[in-house]
């Protein structure tokens, strides 16, 4: 399946844009998610190059096709996420597969399908889910997350439910490849849907992040998330203020 990621993102961006999410801020989120999430997995494309690829549809010289698609595919995937957040669609196995299919377009042949062979996490001291049990475990993960979100009485309970499901997703490793990038986008889908700021895991925090996942340290991951999201809110406010100034200038 071929997607016109560039046009679809432009449409989704314009429809999602509001006072809390200025268009330039949505671009900023997309670029940083694409850059940091790809870099965590070893991609060497720089942040300025990511801007060129994502926002200007320009490919830097001497860029490998694999690294290009790893970054570029975030655009169409983020467009899908914005569309579904607007529709208030609950996370589902089907949506997770759709996110993976777009994110891994042109990269693997079994994109959008759960793994058919055993896989492992490098350096991990635990086994990932078997191919046979993955479909049931993923359905249980989604059902459990949606139940916890529906019954949560505080934002803290909601946040912990989302982060806990992220840890469990990464431990299952349900796809043959792309689990880290897919998991971080799924986590951000739930955060945006529930009204939280996005959580951009910084590439310089890779060691800390992977350790928190390996230890299933939900308290530690929550602490990290709150710190990053507080910074994100300040960044968001800067873009909101900038758009207000631009709108005021247009009215003059």
Identify the DSSP state of 127.
P
Reported residue count of the chain is 252
| Residue 178 annotated in ligand binding | yes
Q: Report which of 193, 194, 205 is spatially closest to residue 231, judged by C-alpha positions.
A: 205
| Residue 177 annotated in ligand binding | yes
| Residue 182 annotated in ligand binding | yes
Rg (CA), the chain: 18
| Residue 4 annotated in ligand binding | no
User: Strand, helix or coil at 153?
Assistant: coil
Count the neighbouring beta carbons within 10 Å of the beta carbon of residue 109: 7
Extract the tokens encoding 243: 């758009």
| Residue 195 annotated in ligand binding | no
Contact 145, 161 (CB under 8 A): yes
Q: Report which of 224, 225, 134 is spatially closest to residue 171, judged by C-alpha positions.
A: 134
Confirm whether 56 is a catalytic residue: no
Q: How far apart are CA 23 and CA 32, in angstroms?
A: 14
| Residue 153 annotated in ligand binding | no
User: Strand, helix or coil at 17?
Assistant: coil
User: Strand, helix or coil at 184?
Assistant: helix
- The residue annotated as part of the active site, out of 100, 166, 173, 248, is 173
| Residue 180 annotated in ligand binding | yes
Residues of the binding site for ATP:
177-184, 217
Give the active site residues: 173
Residues of the binding site:
177-184, 217
């Amino acid at each position: 399946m071929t997607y016109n990621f560039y046009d679809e993102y432009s449409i989704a961006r314009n429809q999602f844009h509001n006072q809390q999410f200025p268009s330039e801020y949505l671009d900023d989120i997309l670029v940083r998610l694409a850059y940091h999430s790809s870099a965590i997995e070893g991609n060497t494309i720089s942040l300025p190059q990511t801007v060129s690829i994502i926002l200007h549809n320009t490919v830097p010289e001497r860029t490998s096709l694999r690294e290009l698609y790893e970054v570029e595919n975030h655009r169409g995937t983020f467009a899908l996420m914005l569309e579904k957040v607007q529709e208030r669609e609950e996370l589902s196995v089907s949506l997770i597969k759709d996110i993976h299919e777009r994110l891994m377009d042109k990269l693997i042949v079994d994109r959008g399908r759960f793994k058919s062979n055993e896989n492992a996490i490098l350096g991990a001291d635990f086994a990932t889910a078997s191919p046979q049990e993955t479909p049931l475990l993923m359905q249980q993960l989604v059902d459990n997350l949606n139940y916890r979100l529906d019954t949560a009485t505080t934002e803290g309970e909601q946040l912990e439910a989302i982060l806990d499901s992220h840890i469990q997703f990464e431990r299952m490793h349900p796809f043959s490849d792309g689990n880290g990038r897919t998991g971080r986008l799924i986590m951000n889908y739930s955060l945006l849907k529930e009204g939280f700021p996005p959580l951009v895991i910084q590439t310089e925090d890779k060691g800390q992040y992977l350790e928190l996942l390996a230890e299933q340290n939900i308290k530690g991951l929550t602490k990290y998330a709150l710190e990053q999201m507080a910074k994100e809110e300040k960044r968001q406010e800067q873009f909101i203020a900038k758009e207000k100034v631009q709108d005021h200038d247009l009215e003059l």
